[in-house]
Amino acid sequence: MINDKKVVVIMPAYNAEKTLKQTYDDIYKDFVDEIILVDDNSQDNTKNISKNLNITTIVHKENKGYGGNQKSCYKAALKANADIVVMLHPDYQYTPKLIPAIVSMMAFGEYDAVLASRMLGNSALKGGMPLYKFMANRFLTIFENIFTGEKLSEYHTGFRGFTKEVLKSLPLEECNNDFIFDNEMIALLFYKGYKIGEISCPTKYFKEASSINFLRSCKYGFGVLAVSIKYRLAKLGLKTGIFKPDGKKLDFSSEIEYFK
């Protein structure tokens, strides 16, 4: 706990057997009350490694996608009475050592959400990010800042934290079950007027680290452009999609099947 806030780390996992233990070992357990991993029907030994590490483990019987996995993660964390939830990918691309800093930015009421940015500090290319991904990241971030009127250094990081109030209030059930979920979530945070903080984060690209291919990256990029345009239209009064006022919140009544 930090400032009497229960901290839960969630890990949306898919085929992470090679990097899970390394990621887990670098988490400062003194700052984290519980770790929850959701295995999205992996085809490797992820779920067994997770259980052997005494991580609270949930297994999808069928693949629900990256966004669908996150929805299960957040439901499980809130059912565990989390006050602050930090999402950490188990592929060791982001350093878990920043969890205390991320949590502290929310635990004392300064921010509602925190993003670990690979673009602050110029560490992305040094960490091995492919040049085309770096350029796409910069272009999309500039585009999004123009359409949202905000000034984030990066919208596309997978290392991020939220307060329970945020997770309970956003219409996350309406969000996409694929990778665009991350971007929709940030757009909703701005739309609802929440305060987002950023922290510089080194990154590591290597063979075992997860990464979507070029075609899926293109699909994600077009999805980001669409979210930004819809956000601007919603601010102008055309409230549709995830920005409509009656959007569905996370359904906490649904059962979660833990891996025994």
Q: For 172-181, write each residue's pLDDT tens digit.
A: 999 999 999 9
pLDDT of residue 209: 64
Predicted model pTM? 0.93
Q: For 116-144, write each residue's pLDDT tens digit.
A: 999 988 778 888 888 888 999 999 999 99
Q: For 56-68, write each residue's pLDDT tens digit.
A: 999 999 999 999 9
Residue 137, Ramachandran bin (φ over 0: left; ψ between -120 and 50: alpha; else beta): alpha
How are the residues of the chain apportioned to helix, strand and coil, as percentages rounded to the nearest 5? 40, 15, 45
Is the domain spanning 7-242 CATH 3.90.550.10? The answer is: yes
In this model, does residue 8 exceed pLDDT 90?
A: yes
